Amino acid sequence: MIHITRKEHFNAAHRMYREEWSAEKNFEVFGKCANPNWHGHNYNLYVTVKGEITHATGYLIDLKELKQIINEYVIEKLDHKNINMDVEFMAGKMASTELLTIEIFNQLKGPIEAYPGVFLHSVKLFETENNSAEYFGG
């Protein structure tokens, strides 16, 4: 079994808040992340797939094809968007890095695993150079 990781990048804005809470409560819980004028991040996304190498090609999956899947199902939907307002797969969810990571995994699992013998192992999302979330499914 081998693991292959593809790194991609996108920029997006979000706001951490609960509509049913007051502005004061949102600021108390989420701090400056509750800014009503939003804030943005330069996200780095790492998608790791696993499986057995195909001996005819020497690949697990052609990385150009993996890039196309990530771009179609994730990057095009998130890059230069407002996660709270513009991203359909995040509708009704808090725009936390943790939930965004899980939803990215869910977006990618089907298209990646449509390739015989290729399995989505994990999605790791860096919100900043110091903060990241990683999801392995389940």
Q: How far is CA 24 from CA 17, 37, 132, in A?
A: 11, 15, 27
- What does the alpha-carbon distance between residue 64 and residue 32 come to, in Å, rounded to a whole number? 39
121 is known as an active-site residue: no
Q: Which of 8, 33, 113, 134 is the catalytic position?
A: 33
Q: Which of 14, 103, 121, 127 is the catalytic position?
A: 127
Q: Which of 3, 9, 39, 80 is the catalytic position?
A: 80
33 is known as an active-site residue: yes
- What does the alpha-carbon distance between residue 101 and residue 81 come to, in Å, rounded to a whole number? 16
- H helices present in the chain, as ranges: 23-30, 63-70, 76-78, 83-86, 97-113
Q: Is 28 exposed, middle or buried (0-12, 13-18, 19+ CB in 10 A)?
A: exposed
Active site residues: 33, 80, 127
